[in-house]
Structure 1
């Protein structure tokens, strides 16, 4: 379940304003100087940030940066998805993150488009475009909150793999045992694709707690208590957060993880510090 060469990659989200896009354009060269294998770009519920995703992807491609757009299928028709994929292929994009996504607000259960689950999207991409795209899918070491149980979540993940996924990126976590335990469960059911840990730097406790409560990612009690104790001491939160995440990454690398995928939150600072402290390979002329 490992690759010959570890893959270190980063994730961005599409800014909602022109000002946000200009700020991101200043951050991207700093992140790219580290030498990530690719930048992934997120995609909102029902394509709610679709235009922003296209704009961000287009700009990255114009800079010669390898890009992996996220594509969420819920609420979309086969025609819409096919047109998006054809557009990406024409741009020279060869990597895709295929997701179910969340139902757009106000959309009833009967209006969810032609796809219900991510495995259906993966199957569609393979049927329509063959091997034109390297397909990443999502994995949940602490299991997806909507799946109901770890065993059901594993069944869902296996369906995505069997549909043709090449690799997976996990939801972020702070307990390495959750990741390694998930790998063992995958091996038992014959899943052998690379499963790359998603890494969320800790820079803002309030924001992290909100994200984690929404997506079901656990913040271990000892980390919560320490972060709560720092209150508004931003520097202490960042220093402690860096120590926690750097140690987690070292544990994952030493345990054979096939790479790391950093959730940058469109900021270069925390990822740059982690990248350099971990001794990850830098782009040429950046060492």
Structure 2
């Protein structure tokens, strides 16, 4: 007998309260990886095996530890009983099976395969949005790796699926290698970029989040002046800019014996703060 729709919704609500699926796919990956291991593993091993940035792996592990889904054992980490219960409920959610028994290794591998397809879709979606807000609709693989929290090699694997697609309708990205000058004029500083194709732009235009961004002139302005690709990144840079700029302008004004420079700065800082606030209310 399968899990009823109402039961699935309750399971989803419970699981999402522990790991926000829309934001924490890395935590989910780490948890599933630990579920397949018999002995404790280090964060560096997790980062290497899952091809994550080490900082992202540390952050995910710390959050899983706080939630009680993993536990320390010696110098490494293992999945906790609460974590196994979480994974079992996740399997029930995906397959509709009613069994409460602990998952076998085979079923856990099946779940990892299902989750992996969703994770690829999520990263491709985020890549489309990021390129959509960038100049020339392109971004370097290293920058995208930083924003997504996964290794550049993993970004390449995901985006190349669509960059090298033979079917025209699937060719969302175009891979570009920009050659730079290294030492002694050698071309050893090549940089890899991905750019949206016309197909990619067409798909992007269907996204509700992107249409909201196009209407939000305030947010577009903040992203441009802070050279950012995400709202959270832009706001952090704006806060840092205003926070550091105010004492500096105060010192400069005191040295020159006038307050007009400080007054101008405070006006600019206030204006930028108002624009950032307005960007939150535009739908």
Larger Rg: 2
Q: TM-score range by the shorter chain?
A: under 0.3
- Between Structure 1 and Structure 2, the one with more strand by share is 1
TM-score, length-scaled by structure 1: 0.25
Higher relative contact order at CA 8 Å, sep ≥6: structure 1 or structure 2?
Answer: 1
TM-score by length of 2: 0.26
Return the structure number with greater helix share. Answer: 2
